[in-house]
Structure 1
Amino acid sequence: MTKRPPALVAIVIYKTFSALLLVVMAIALGLTVKKHQLLVDFSESYALEGKLQIIKWTLKEILNLNPKTLQFTSMAVGLYAIVTAIEGIGLWYQKAWAKILVLVLVGISIPPEIFELIRRMSLLKLAVFLVNLAVFWYLLRHSLSTRDDNQLQ
């Protein structure tokens, strides 16, 4: 069995966690589409009277979305969960295509993350940005050093 660098194992764990989180989100959005009218009725009832503001805000945001938008978002998030899981599996088996896939997808996400940080800073956004930057830097550095080693042989 091949020994994996600890940083690579950490990236695989991060990708696995991300994929699981995306699956949960896709399922939740899918259920929201199916139960949209039930949520509308619930939000108009007095059941939320005096409840947490976050519940009210979440319901208001979901109810302002078109059910078709929710359905599309659910499918897109589900597809992204599959891609993220494939990235993690490919990295676990130390496949070159997985490193390239992660480099491309993380590289594409960095400029919008910078824009979001400039627009409105939050600890969560900053943490995600820093993790993605570390993943990108590690894989880029590791891919280049592996390629240089292969050219020397």
Structure 2
Amino acid sequence: MRAIAIYKAAKSIGLLLVAAAAFRLDRAQNFEQLVHWLENLSLADSSELRWRLVDMLTAMGPQKFVAVGLVALAYAALFAVEGVGLWLRKRWAQWFTVIATGLLVPLEFYEVMHRFSGTRLAVLLLNIAVVVYLLRTVLGSRAAEHEAH
């Protein structure tokens, strides 16, 4: 349980950083500085990735980063609640994590099938492992309680 709680905390921290960056990029000046910096970055090996990122940012514009920041904050809050509940070994947190993580597995599977990457596959497999482990734990402890009564 503690390992899953730490995993959820790491995801929360990562999303808080994304939100902070997104809220800074909603200002046109910061946004233009980032695009300018990326355009002038001299990394030969990452040229294609860099230009795709510049194109994506330019297409989005600074206004959309507020929405990105709000979504990142919402997910950070969700993962933080899960993590704290799991750290405290609360049964509701186990069920909450099973449901929340389980609902995302089909979307993650779709992403892996349509835009494969090792990172996407690792996240999918880790989330499936979390769901299976928590289901076994919750159902096992529930059966033990039922036998005790």
TM-score of the two chains, using structure 1 as the length reference: 0.84
Counterpart Cα distance in 1 of 2:112 and 2:91: 31
- Aligned match of 1:94: 89
Q: Kindly tell me: are residues 46 and 117 of structure 1, through their superposed partners in 2, closer, same or farther at Cα, counting changes over 3 Å?
A: closer
* Offset from partner CA, 1:35-57 (integer Å, 9 cap, x none): x3443366468971645524443
- Between Structure 1 and Structure 2, how many residues are aligned? 145
* 3-state SS, counterpart of residue 60 of structure 2: coil
- Aligned match of 2:118: 123
Counterpart Cα distance in 2 of 1:94 and 1:142: 11
Counterpart Cα distance in 1 of 2:143 and 2:32: 59
The answer to whether residue 102 in structure 2 is matched with residue 107 in structure 1 is yes
- Aligned match of 1:33: 26
* Offset from partner CA, 1:87-118 (integer Å, 9 cap, x none): 10000001111111111110110001111111
- Aligned match of 2:142: 147
The answer to whether residue 46 in structure 2 is matched with residue 48 in structure 1 is no
Counterpart Cα distance in 1 of 2:76 and 2:133: 22
Q: Kindly tell me: are residues 57 and 88 of structure 1, through their superposed partners in 2, closer, same or farther at Cα, counting changes over 3 Å?
A: same
Query: Which structure carries more helix by proportion?
Result: 2
User: Matched residues, percent identical?
Assistant: 28
Q: Kindly tell me: are residues 46 and 28 of structure 1, through their superposed partners in 2, closer, same or farther at Cα, counting changes over 3 Å?
A: closer
Q: Kindly tell me: are residues 151 and 114 of structure 1, through their superposed partners in 2, closer, same or farther at Cα, counting changes over 3 Å?
A: same
Alignment of 1:3-82 (within 5 A): 8-34=1-27, 36-40=28-32, 43=35, 48=40, 50-51=42-43, 52-53=46-47, 54-82=49-77
Q: Kindly tell me: are residues 18 and 49 of structure 1, through their superposed partners in 2, closer, same or farther at Cα, counting changes over 3 Å?
A: closer
Gaps in structure 1 of 5+ consecutive residues: 1-7
Q: Kindly tell me: are residues 58 and 148 of structure 1, through their superposed partners in 2, closer, same or farther at Cα, counting changes over 3 Å?
A: same
Q: Kindly tell me: are residues 91 and 145 of structure 1, through their superposed partners in 2, closer, same or farther at Cα, counting changes over 3 Å?
A: same
Which amino acid is the alignment partner of residue 40 of structure 1? E
Gaps in structure 2 of 5+ consecutive residues: none
Kept in 2, the 8 Å contact 1:39–1:63? The answer is no
After TM superposition, the runs of 4+ consecutive aligned structure 1 residues lying more than 6 A away are none
